Structure 1
Amino acid sequence: MTAILTTRSTPLILAGMAVERYISICFPLHYTQMCNIPRTLLLICVIFILTVTPPITDLLITIVKEPPSFFHTKIFCDHSLLFRDQSIYYKNCVFDGTYLSFVALTLLYTYCKIMLTAQAVSTSLVSVKRARNTVLLHGVQLLLCMLAFVVPSLQAALISLFPQLGLEIRYIFFLLVYIIPRFLSPMIYGFRDEQFRKYWTRYLSCHEHSMTLLRLASQKMNPQVK
Structure 2
Amino acid sequence: MNLTKRDDFQEALVKNLIIVILGIVINCINGIIVLTFCKNSVFHSDSRYILYMNLVVNDMILIYVSVTLYVLTYIYPNLNALMCCILVMTGSTTRKNTTIILASMAIERYIAICKPLRHAQICTVRRTYIIIALTWGVGFVPALVDVIIVLATQPIGFFSKGVFCFPPILYNTRYHAENVKVVQALYMSFVWLTLIYTYFMIFRTARSAKRDTASAKKAQNTILLHGAQLLLSMLSYITPLFNVVLISFFPIHRSKITFLNYLITNIIPRLLSPLIYSVRDQKFAKHMSQYYSCKVILFKGGLKRRRLKCSSKRVCSLKG
Greater shift, 134-143 or 64-73, is seen at 64-73
**Does residue 61 in structure 1 map to residue 140 in structure 2?**
no
Aligned to 1:125: 213
1:113 partnered with 2:222: no
Provide the rounded CA distance (Å) in 2 between the counterparts of 1:31 and 1:72. Answer: 51
The separation in 2 between residues aligned to 1:56 and 1:159, in whole angstroms, is 33
Q: Is the 8 A contact 1:19 1:106 kept in 2?
A: yes
Amino acid at match of 1:96: Q
CA shift, 1:186, in A, is 1.0
Q: What's the counterpart of residue 233 of structure 2?
A: 145
**What letter corresponds to residue 261 of structure 2 in structure 1?**
F
SS class of match (1:53): helix
Q: Does 1:189 align with 2:277?
A: yes
Residues 40-77 of structure 1 deviation map (CA, whole Å, 9 limit, x = unaligned):
11111111111111111101101111234543443211
Tell me the CA shift for residue 171 of structure 1: 3.6
Cα separation, partners in 2 of 1:176 and 1:61, compared to 1, 3 Å:
same
* TM-score, reference length from structure 2: 0.56
Matches within 5 A, 1:24-35: 24-35=112-123
2:222, 2:276 within 8 Å by CA — same for their partners in 1? no
Root mean square deviation of aligned Cα? 2.8
- Give the equivalent residue in structure 2 for 1:20: 108
Uncovered stretches (5+) of structure 1, i.e. residues with no partner? 204-226
Runs of 4+ in 1 over 2 A off after TM superposition: 1-6, 67-75, 152-174, 187-191, 193-199
TM-score, length-scaled by structure 1: 0.77
| Counterpart contact for 2:113–2:205, Cα < 8 Å | yes
CA apart distance, 1:148: 2.0
1:173 maps to which residue? 261
Correspondence for 1:86 among 158, 174, 186:
174
Q: How many residues align?
A: 201
CA deviations over 1:92-120 (Å, ceiling 9, x no partner): 11111111101100111111111111111
Report percent identity of matched pairs: 39
**One-letter amino acid of the counterpart of residue 86, structure 1:** R
1:75 alignment partner, SS class: strand
Of the structure 1 ranges 161-170 and 180-189, higher mean CA displacement relative to structure 2 is found in 161-170
